[in-house]
Structure 1
């Protein structure tokens, strides 16, 4: 009787194993498909916003009359909002869904640099009072980068006239390398406040004093 029950149990165990494998395989497939959809959606939106950025920059280059400054400021604000929104989506994809795509981040950094350059032109041509901060960090060997990021998040949320643009210095992005070379970034964390570089951690109190 016991032997008969054992013989009956074997097919059940095999069936349960097969079902488990199938469920796992379907889960992996669905997960990968959803990840691909998320990346494609972000990439498509990146290209769309980047095209708008090029149009905005062309407008500023072609017409530098102060009469157009309200238009430029509006375009710069829109660019910053859309860029920040994409940055939030990429961070969520990485931190929550575990989606890591270096090429997608490089595209984002190109867009972020474009948004910074537009804001910089508006600041120079229209006497705009916004403070512009570039933040260079490393995810590999930087003990204080996370803390520097928190300081900048606090500053940005408490000051409406402060814009922060963050870049991973180890990703191998050509535009990030160009910005680092332009401002003399030599270590992480590093911040550039209105063109002045600080190759070290800057706490909240000191940064508030720098911004005035």
Structure 2
């Protein structure tokens, strides 16, 4: 991989997930830190991500936004790291499944954090809170890896998002959740990423 890789971020954002993934790949990359309301909304950055939000990566002429897409893209750049199951393998199904499951989780968590009334389960992409939490807990209960028998981007995303929402007390601190988060938080790449980004301030 010879093309330059640039990471657009703010440490106090979900872009921390992409930082961790970048550290897992071992690829060289340049970091550009953007500020909310100013450089993140400036024309120069909107030319990269019209949404004016982070994370984003630019790899040569290719731009990728959204944590899930970025992590899958990066995993495919370094097949030797085995951060994604091989194409066509049975493990590819749960790999896509649990990465995509972070979408409904985000929808529910944002709704809870803003205090809005949860929509009817038939309209909500996450169904009911009880079903979502039980499904996620069942996925990680007694299991170290979600797709195959080794660490992949699915484990990274799911543990990162569970950890994020446990910290803000939006998910219940079930033993299955805390065990899964702590298991993957111990990875050297996760430690490097957290050192680069610094601590997340406690919620007041």
| TM-score, normalized by the shorter chain, greater than 0.5 | no
Which structure exhibits the higher relative contact order, with contacts defined as CA atoms closer than 8 Å and separated by 6 or more residues?
2
> Which TM-score applies when normalising by structure 2?
0.36
